[in-house]
Amino acid sequence: MTEPAGERLAILFDIDGTLIESGGAGGTAWREAFEELYGVPADIGEFTDAGMTDPEVGRVTFERVIGHKPSERELARLLARRSVLLPRAVAESKDYRVLPGVPELLPRLVEQGYLLGLTTGGVESAAHIKLERAHLNRYFHFGGYGSDSPDRVQLTRKALERASTILGRRLSRDEVLVVGDTPSDITAAHGAEATGVGVATGHFSKEQLTDAGADYVLGTLEEELPL
């Protein structure tokens, strides 16, 4: 049976600030990776912004801390070490939490027949490590990751391509929601020709997300998605 055009079919979620808060686990793993490899406990927060992809974070922080751009092999080694350290950092994070509404929302959406995916600046391995502690990986079949592109628009397009592959046809703007907590998520949604839903559970207010052009804005995921 062919779904009518315009009916929501796929929903893409950002991770940090949207589904979970890792309690700084990502920054901890980066710091430990730099310290183990180079003897410098680098603080990524000094050099990077929310919404940057993992390879960008590694590259920019490396250049600022070590003093030169990383070679391909240096960047690969850094990303690998960070991924090795991340599971422990997530498991030991005292402030890790699933954000309001998420535990109830995801199984309900799956039961109702929505295809759920991820769109995140994290590399694929890091994305799933962060979700594993809360047992959320089971709800997501595909995604667009920082390992797909350094550009949030492009990685969101990649997620949409994968959704289209699963469903067997190209999806229209109205059929896809991209849900995130930053203006970068909204920009990526629109750049990928999807509907952008801002949720104010991260560092940005409802007003800021509205100003960023969100098609819809929620306070938390306890509120109803525009389905």
Check whether residue 201 and residue 135 sit in a common domain. Answer: yes
Pair 131, 202 in one domain: yes
Confidence band for 6, pLDDT divided at 50, 70 and 90: low
> Which helix (H) or strand (E) is 30 found in, with range?
helix 25-38
Do 104 and 213 lie in one domain? The reply is yes
Last residue of a domain, one of 45, 63, 92: 92
Q: 140 and 180 share a domain?
A: yes
Residue 224: inside a domain: no
CATH number where 55 lies: 1.10.150
CATH (domain of 172): 3.40.50.1000
Contact indicator for 28, 103 with CB cutoff of 8 Å: no
Beta-bridge mates of residue 76: none
DSSP helix/strand/coil, 214 = coil
Say which residue the tokens 């690969």 belong to: 76
Q: Indicate whether 5 belongs to any domain.
A: no
165 is a domain residue: yes
Decide if 25 contacts 2 (C-beta within 8 A): no
Q: How confident is the model at residue 47 (pLDDT cuts 50, 70, 90)?
A: confident
Can you tell me the distance from the alpha carbon of 24 to that of 177, in angstroms, rounded to the nearest whole number? 27
Q: Is residue 223 part of a domain?
A: no
Element holding 176 (H helix, E strand):
strand 176-180
Sheet order of strands, 142-144 included: 142-144, 115-119, 10-13, 176-180, 195-199, 216-218
Which residues are within 8 A (CB) of 120 and not within 5 positions of it... i.e. 6 or more apart? 14, 15, 16, 127, 143, 144, 145, 146, 155
Q: Considering 77, 92, 107, which residue would you say is the last residue of a domain?
A: 92
Residue 196 predicted with pLDDT over 60? yes
Residue 156 and residue 195: Cα distance in Å, rounded? Answer: 12
- Give the mean pLDDT of 128-132: 96
Q: What proportion of the chain, given as a percentage, has pLDDT over 70?
A: 97
* Structure confidence at residue 215 as a pLDDT band (50, 70, 90): very high
Number of domains in the chain: 2
Domain membership flag for residue 33: yes
State the residue range of the domain holding 49: 25-92
16 and 115 share a domain? yes
Compute CA 151 distance to the chain's CA centroid, rounded to the nearest angstrom: 13
Which of 44, 65, 92 terminates a domain? The answer is: 92
Would residue 50 count as lying in a domain?
yes
Domain contains 3: no
Q: Say yes or no: 128 and 76 in one domain.
A: no
41 pLDDT higher than 90: no
Sorting pLDDT into bands at 50, 70 and 90, what band is 7? Answer: confident
Give, as one character, the DSSP assignment of residue 134. T
> Is 2 contained in some domain?
no
What mean pLDDT is reported for the chain? 93
Between residues 52 and 37, which one has the greater pLDDT? 37
Kindly state whether residues 144 and 177 are assigned to the same domain: yes
Let me know: does 223 contact 179? Beta carbons within 8 Å. Answer: no
